[in-house]
Amino acid sequence: MPSTPTLAVGLAVGLAALVGACAGGRNDSSPAQPQREPEAATSVAASAAAAGTPPTPAEPTLVEGPIPAGYLAFDGACTREPVVVVAAIGDVLLHHELQKQAYAAKDRFTNIWSGVGDLLAAADVTYANLEVPIAQGMTKDGEAKDPGLAFDNQVYTGYPFFNAHPSLADDLAATGVDIVSTANNHALDRGSLGLERTLDALDRAKLKHAGTRRTIKDPFHTITVVQDMRIAWIACTLHTNFGKDTSGQVLHCFKPKDRAQLLAIVEELAAAKDIDAVIATPHWGKEYAAAPSANQRELAQDLVNAGATAVLGAHPHVLQPWEKLTSTDGRQAFVAYSLGNFAHHQRSLDRRSSIILYLALRKDGKTNEVVPAGVGYVPIHVRMEGDKQKFFVEATDRVRPAADEERAHVVAMFGEPNLLAPEDALSDRRPLARQCVQSH
């Protein structure tokens, strides 16, 4: 992902919230640690940004004091190795109003989320759940003449049989998205051929994808590489609505045979010498439920036990909590049960309120394992203009007080300690070395 020098201004102090504390905490009787002045770190980054040159990596910041109550911390924060920051967003669910807006705009789909584009482009790797096919020239009944960039309600349609123009892949890639999940309940809304054309469009846009495949000879996983860290991605879905997967093109989460295959893939990837981390992105849970089901929790633990470094869920269209899990072999892993919606037309408070998640991964210098180093989030919402005329994804802190209700809804779930202001959530791909509160 391209460097964004102007976004580095708040990094020296802002990402201390991501990897600034390990789970052990500091004994108050221990000697105080020296502390770098945040103002100095900020001014160095600001000067570099103003000059248009990449800033010099900041020295590790030593953070004093106890971990704030409610802060989700990881032991991976307690080393000096560089981190890779993964940004993750929820459902890209293009209802008909959003498609009409995109096809009429000069900047197409980016017109919808340009307000948070910098927050997505700034991470080292950015993930999204692509919950619509993008199959050119396909209706739900078969092939047809393609209308181009136009919502004809035949080829390009909204609920319940979604299909969006394949330029969506280009616009996601241009925004900075690197990897998408294609395993979801709408994966077969245009049938087997539509699934293949969706993957063709993603490949043309050089956008990685996981969870569906053209033939049984193809893998369900993909790999992203950044800063010499190779992350394997695997996705699955609980079902495919009206579409029947007769060709084995979609990996299911809970069918016994598929579940066994999913866990075997994760285990194999985690054991591979050329893979540093595994991130699973299951499409699971009950729609509009604010808490994960027992099935979600059980599968999350099984994925972690099999070797997953993180689990990023989707499907409920609302946010669900996050937590730290420990595997049977003692590794810490991160789970976000649902990232909610990203781009959509749903209007209730819980459905229009969401987050951009930031997950820091760090390679342990002693074990060479990649472990979570910290998490943070920026609250976002979808603003509706007129009577469902236009929709815009915005960071709530950039439009306060207009989106204070949505912000409060999100913070009530994830808490203040891991909350990031937009200007402090950004990475310009420098090594983000930080030292945590020391355990004693």
Query: pLDDT category, 312, cuts 50, 70, 90?
Result: very high
- What pLDDT score does 302 carry? 98
Calculate mean pLDDT across residues 329-347.
96
Average pLDDT, the chain: 85
Query: pLDDT category, 426, cuts 50, 70, 90?
Result: low
Query: pLDDT category, 19, cuts 50, 70, 90?
Result: low
Q: Which residue has the higher pLDDT, 259 or 57?
A: 259
Calculate mean pLDDT across residues 353-359.
97
CA distance 374 to 402: 30
- What pLDDT score does 68 carry? 81
Q: Which helix (H) or strand (E) holds 320?
A: strand 319-326
Pick from 227, 323, 338: nearest CA to 284: 338
Query: pLDDT category, 287, cuts 50, 70, 90?
Result: very high
- What pLDDT score does 82 carry? 82
CA distance 374 to 418: 9
Calculate mean pLDDT across residues 31-39.
32
Calculate mean pLDDT across residues 135-164.
98
CA distance 107 to 114: 9
Whether the bond into 31 is cis, omega within 30 of 0: no
Whether residue 40 is predicted with pLDDT greater than 70 in this model: the reply is no
Dihedral of CA 303/260/226/214: which sign?
A: negative
Calculate mean pLDDT across residues 133-143.
98
Q: How many residues does the chain have?
A: 440
CA distance 405 to 386: 19
- What pLDDT score does 24 carry? 52
Whether residue 433 is predicted with pLDDT greater than 60 in this model: the reply is no
What pLDDT digit, counting tens, does each position of 180-204 carry?
999 999 999 999 999 999 999 999 9
- What pLDDT score does 79 carry? 73
Whether residue 230 is predicted with pLDDT greater than 50 in this model: the reply is yes
Whether residue 336 is predicted with pLDDT greater than 90 in this model: the reply is yes
What pLDDT digit, counting tens, does each position of 46-87 carry?
333 344 444 433 334 445 457 788 899 898 887 778 889 999
What pLDDT digit, counting tens, does each position of 369-414 carry?
999 999 999 999 999 998 888 999 999 999 999 999 999 999 999 9
Calculate mean pLDDT across residues 270-291.
98
Whether residue 427 is predicted with pLDDT greater than 60 in this model: the reply is no
- What pLDDT score does 65 carry? 54
56-81 in b/e burial notation, b at 16+ Cβ within 10 A? eebebbbbeeebeeebbbbbbbbbeb
Calculate mean pLDDT across residues 352-372.
92
- What pLDDT score does 48 carry? 37
- What pLDDT score does 389 carry? 86
Pick from 275, 201, 280, 195: nearest CA to 236: 280
Cα–Cα–Cα angle for 132, 266, 336, rounded to 5 degrees: 55
Whether residue 6 is predicted with pLDDT greater than 70 in this model: the reply is no
Share of the chain above pLDDT 70, in %: 81
Q: Which residue has the tokens 């080292």?
A: 124
CA distance 239 to 189: 12
Whether residue 38 is predicted with pLDDT greater than 70 in this model: the reply is no
Distances (CA, A) of 351 to 122, 320, 342: 25, 11, 9
> 77-424 has which CATH code?
3.60.21
- What pLDDT score does 199 carry? 98
Q: Which residue has the higher pLDDT, 367 or 152?
A: 152
What are the boundaries of each domain within the chain? 5-75, 77-424
- What pLDDT score does 364 carry? 82
- What pLDDT score does 183 carry? 98
Please answer whether residues 15 and 51 qualify as being in contact, where contact means their C-beta atoms are separated by less than 8 angstroms. Answer: no
Dihedral of CA 395/401/403/409: which sign?
A: positive
- What pLDDT score does 22 carry? 62
Whether residue 329 is predicted with pLDDT greater than 60 in this model: the reply is yes
- What pLDDT score does 1 carry? 54
pTM metric for this prediction: 0.87
